[in-house]
Structure 1
């Protein structure tokens, strides 16, 4: 469904009616607009609730570094489910629940380097609501099935497939690929991942359709 930003903010804040820390997951295929939605949502939530009341834990920080992908022979599939540290991501989510009185330091992802950066993110005890976004929050296997039980609610973001693919091509070009290499990567790497993610959409609590003019 297409919901207004105000409605999404209201839905997120309503999750705080329950006790304890709330973890809101935002998922969707590559290029669907997860990060843009998350940034906009968090900006409004922080304006309403206070800058330290909302935390952010992107799944992208748990990318395996290129040196590990090379060792494992997976660099040509970077972004696939087995190119992330799923155990580390699950451990971070659990710590948010189990150690709410401690600051969580977690890795971030540097787009210019295309590499994870250790302890780039910090989630303080004051953050009762934490937004985590990533591709595989609803994947039912490969270790990812441990994620969903740790999340209060999961939203699946989607946009018209042609728009999503063109976004991905432009993104790959921006980070150094030729137009031909960018389209090949979208077809051979991003699209198989997108099909995996789209197959999990019915498990989401809310489908957020991004309206692109």
Structure 2
């Protein structure tokens, strides 16, 4: 099993390359992407910054307009082209600070310009479900990542995490389970098909 010692080592090597690098952490909903990203970020300190894919959720008003509100989190409920454009700006590493949006689960909306990517930060970590999808516009993400990890925890554990997450943000247990099995798990099947595009597959929860 790959643990945090190995993950942090790989991230440090990217950060120490002398050039701007982008590390992608992918996996199904509830796989622990944010937890792993935050742990690695904590170890690297000022050498890294985290820019999650979730900042590119379409606003709820747009999802309602498009008739997609009942499946928020599916690939076509994100501004994928905008995410790709941001990663390209980050990779170019010009002289200016790049600002990225940040998703807030407590209101289910994103704040624009909430994350600052300074030009001297060597490693940008990004995490999300669809980083490795092989369908446009998502397919353009993979070529912008210097290294990609895919998290594959136990599915039963992952599903229970998802249900608990939805409950913590206001859904009843029945509502949470219904959403997970109807929406999140459908998305999980899509994500699972992209696993082979990763440089490293992390099976189980890293320790």
What is the TM-score of this pair, normalised by structure 2?
A: 0.96
1:126-180 Cα offsets, whole Å, 9 max, x none, are 2110000000000011310010000101000111000000011111111111111
Structure 2 equivalent of residue 154 of structure 1: 148
Question: What is the CA-CA distance between 1:210 and the residue it aligns to?
Answer: 3.1
Q: Find out whether 1:87 has 2:86 as its counterpart.
A: no
CA distance, structure 2, for counterparts of residue 146 and residue 45 of structure 1: 27
The counterpart of 2:98, out of the listed 104, 127, 134, is 104
- Aligned match of 2:61: 67
- When the two structures are superposed, what TM-score results if normalisation uses the length of structure 1? 0.93
For residue 26 of structure 1, report the CA deviation from its aligned partner: 0.3
2:52 to 58, 62, 65: 58
Q: Are residue 133 (structure 1) and residue 127 (structure 2) matched?
A: yes
2:71 paired with 1:77:
yes
Aligned to 2:163: 169
Partner of 2:24: 25
Alignment coverage as a number of residue pairs: 207
Find the aligned partners of 1:40 and 1:16 in 2 and give their Cα distance.
15
Q: CA separation in 1, counterparts of 2:191 and 2:177? A: 20
Kept in 1, the 8 Å contact 2:57–2:73? The answer is yes
Shift of 1:19: 4.7
Contact 1:21–1:100, Cα closer than 8 Å, also in 2: no
Partner SS, residue 102 of structure 1: coil
How far 1:212 sits from its partner (Å)?
8.0
In the alignment, is residue 209 of structure 1 matched against residue 193 of structure 2? no
Please list every run of 5 or more consecutive structure 2 residues that lacks an aligned counterpart in the other structure: none
Residues 1:125 and 1:212: Cα distance change in structure 2 (over 3 Å)? closer
1:126, 1:69 → 2: CA distance? 36
RMSD: 1.4
Q: Distance in 2 between matches of 1:117 and 1:55?
A: 17
Residue matched to 1:41: 40
Aligned equivalents of 1:154, 1:102: Cα separation in 2:
26
SS at match of 1:15: helix
Secondary structure of residue in 2 paired with 1:11: helix
Q: Map 1:105-124; keep pairs closer than 5 Å.
A: 105-124=99-118
